[in-house]
Chains A and B, each alone.
Chain A
Amino acid sequence: MNRFKAFVKKEFLHIIRDRRTLVILFGIPIVQLLLFGYALTNEVRNVKVAVADYAKDELSQRITQQISVSPWFNLVQTVDNPNDYEALLRSGKVKEIIVFEPGFSRKLTHDGKASVQLLTDASEPNTAQLLVNYTTAIIQSNNMQEAQKAASIEVKTRMLYNESMKESYNFIPGLMAMILMLISAMMTAITITREKETGTMEILLASPLRPIQIILGKVAPYMVLSALNAIIIVGIGTTLFGVPIRGSLILLMLVVILFIFLALSLGIFISTVASSQMTAMSISGFGLMLPTILLSGFIFPIKNMPLPLQIVSNLMPPRWFIEINRMVMLKGADFTLVWKQILILMVMSAFFILLSMKKFKIRLE
């Protein structure tokens, strides 16, 4: 036991004395939280647009005015030659050109119909779609007759669990999964493989320490770091971004510990497969980090994916973790609602631990 303690102490010192890594370990969650919280949004704001007004009448100028004052658009220039449209859109100087046909308001009064063309740069489909929606809304607000029609059916919408529609509610659980994966799985995999690559694993295996003690000693510091990071994320999330914890904090923490455990077992498993750190990095980077970001519902809702990917996402541990996390933290769910997901995580960890025990070689090849 004393030997084991000394070994764990050595591993801790390894990490603590590596200042740069330590700074980054705690820097990553903080920087990511700030970026997600303050910089990244899917909304469109201040998009550069141009107007081509061939009518120059009162109505077209009024609509132009309405567009230029709205928060979504930034009216940067006017065009009067259709040959310039393509160059403008292609160079990315504007994302949308709003074209009023000649005799715009005259047509409206005489023919009862006038049209505005919206030429959008659809190489960004999401932005293009939103731009068209917003412009159409502004234009149609000028359809006076439409506005006068009072709706007799009123729809009241209640936004449950996130009344003010904050994006931070959506990303904090995912961010937690990502950071825990990074530290617990990726770093563990690399640190154990390192012993193999530099040949010091041989020394460790020849020592009186038992293999299980070597592994436990290696993962212990990362377990502590992961737990600390999880606490930091929850702390910043609740204080800075006002994300509530509606369910039981104890349940949340237990789930976090379970997930750390699972991530560690994944890391150990990768280290038994990989022979060099570069391989370990590649496997954990592409086998773990990318799916954690993309197939877990963190950024992209699983429901929108093609069916085969939806099936694959069931095998991704972070998917279940994020689901539990959202339910417990934001929806105030209790154990009865999440036991299935918890069970899945438990089965997954057991599977990877058994697999790594089978694969771990105490003898040199």
Chain B
Amino acid sequence: MRILFYILQKEFTQIFRNKGMLPIIFVLPLVQMLILVFAATFEIKRVDMVVVDQDHSSSARQLIDRIRANKLFVINAFPASATEAEKMIQAGKTDLALVIPHDFDKKATLRQNAELQILVDAINGNAAQLGSTYLTSIVNDFNRDLQLRQSRANQPRPAVIVAEPSFWFNAELNYRHYMAPGILVVLITVVGMFLGGMNLVREKELGTIEQINVTPIRKWQFIAGKLLPFLLLGLFELSFGLLIAKLVFGLPIRGSLPLLFLIASVYLVLVLSIGLYISTESDTQQQVTFVSYFMMMIFILLSGLFTPVESMPVWAQRIDYFNPLYYFVRVMRSVILKGSGLQEVIWEFAALAGFATLMFSLAIFRYRKTT
């Protein structure tokens, strides 16, 4: 135990004397919470559009006023022709164009079928779909009002089924509350996988590992000495990040913090062991960075952090059984946002604990004192 204590002392001294690393430790969570959480949103807040009004009638004007009243749409210009509007879309000056043909008013009042055209930049399919759907629904509302005004007979109101949604755990549909726990997972994964692994392989690169190999330090002590400082660092980053999230955008923490930190520790042991395992197999820090980056990228993309896991094909969902991030993102979200207790995240916890034991043993086993 004394030996482990000395190793830890050495590792901590090394980390804190590296002037380049200290600011990174503090700046990182700040940047993640203040920039990434605000940037990562699929919420469509603004659609730029142009209107090609060839009709100049009162109906056309009423329709345009109705679009103006909607906060989502910003009308940038009124080009003279559809070709000109298309050019503006090509140049990226606007997202969408509504073409009102010259006979719009006449047809609409004579109850013939009037036709409107929407041109939309569909490179971002999601946004395009949303923009055109909203615009279509505005037109439909307009249409209904027009019909109501035209129908002379006062018909009885038709029976309707109303859907009443209620949003649980996040009533305002706050995207930041949703993203912050996930981004925190990325933060501590980076600390675990990269910093731990690079630290070990650095000893190899500089040759100082030889000096350790000839001491009575045992294999597990060496690996534990590399693991513990970064485990503490990771937990520190997690608490710092949670604090910022709480202060800056009022992230509600509904579940138990001790439970969260317990699972986070197990998760950190797992990712640190993966990082250390990679570094026992590598010779240079560049290799470690590369392999870790490669794995992390796959883990992050498949974890459900940005896109829902249920929508993925079955093979991708199978891969997720071996994805530490998948489990931990779920744990973070349900404990923080839904206030889940241990029994609700027991499977995720068990999986993380199992993989952590496995990878830690593997890292010790693969580390050789002999060359």
Contacts and interface: CB of A to CB of B under 8 A. Distances in A.
A47 to B, nearest CB: 5
* B35, B128, B157, B330: most-surrounded residue (chain A CB, <10 A): B35
A142 B20 contact: no
Interface in A309-355: 309, 312, 323, 326-327, 330-333, 337
Contacts of A139: 161, 163
Given A91-B344, A143-B161, A279-B20, A156 B286 contact: no
Given A121-B168, A306-B38, A301 B285 contact: no
Interface in B104-147: 108, 111-129, 132, 135-136, 139-140, 142-144, 146-147
Contact of B143 (A27, A41, A132, A153): A153
A25 B286 CA distance: 12
A309 B162 CA distance: 39
A13 B35 CA distance: 40
A235 to B, nearest CB: 20
A305 to B, nearest CB: 5
Interface stretch (A2-10, A166-174, A261-269): A166-174
Interface string B189-229: 01000110011001001100000000000000000000000
Contact of B170 (A36, A123, A305): A123
Contacts of B287: 18, 20-21
B167 interface: yes
A293 B159 CA distance: 49
A194 B285 contact: yes
* B48, B198, B294: most-surrounded residue (chain A CB, <10 A): B294
Interface stretch (B4-12, B49-57, B83-91): B83-91
A90 B39 contact: no
B289 A116 contact: no
Nearest to B43: A304
A154 B40 contact: no
A160 B28 CA distance: 40
B337 interface: yes
Contacts of A156: 115-118
Interface string A286-319: 1000100011000111011110010010000000
A71 B289 CA distance: 41
A286 B40 CA distance: 15
A300 B171 CA distance: 23
A322 to B, nearest CB: 11
A159 interface: yes
* B119, B147, B165: most-surrounded residue (chain A CB, <10 A): B165
B223 to A, nearest CB: 19
Interface stretch (A144-152, A211-219, A226-234, A249-257): A144-152
A154 to B, nearest CB: 5
A158 B120 contact: yes
Interface in A32-60: 32, 35-36, 38-48
Contacts of A126: 42-43, 175, 178, 308
A305 B39 contact: yes
A304 B258 CA distance: 36
Given A21-B287, A154-B116, A303-B45, A42 B126 contact: yes
A177 B365 CA distance: 39
B284 interface: yes
B310 A48 contact: yes
Interface in B148-188: 157-171, 173-175, 177-178
A124 B205 CA distance: 44
9 contacts: A28-B297, A42-B308, A117-B166, A122-B169, A152-B146, A153-B113, A162-B123, A190-B289, A278-B195
Interface of A: 18, 20-21, 24-25, 27-28, 31-32, 35-36, 38-48, 86, 89-92, 108-109, 112-129, 132, 135-136, 139-140, 142-146, 149, 151-163, 165-167, 169-170, 182, 186-187, 190-191, 194, 197-198, 274-279, 281-283, 285-286, 290, 294-295, 299-301, 303-306, 309, 312, 323, 326-327, 330-333, 337
Given A115-B161, A282-B28, 11 more contacts: A38-B316, A89-B169, A92-B338, A122-B167, A125-B178, A144-B158, A159-B128, A169-B122, A190-B289, A274-B20, A304-B46
Interface of B: 18, 20-21, 24, 27-28, 31, 35-36, 38-46, 48, 86, 89-92, 108, 111-129, 132, 135-136, 139-140, 142-144, 146-147, 157-171, 173-175, 177-178, 190, 194-195, 198-199, 202, 205-206, 282, 284-287, 289-291, 293-294, 297-298, 301-302, 306-308, 310-313, 316, 330, 333-334, 337-340, 344
Give me the 9 closest cross-chain CB pairs, A-B, nearest first: A145-B158, A122-B167, A159-B122, A165-B125, A279-B20, A162-B122, A123-B337, A125-B173, A122-B170
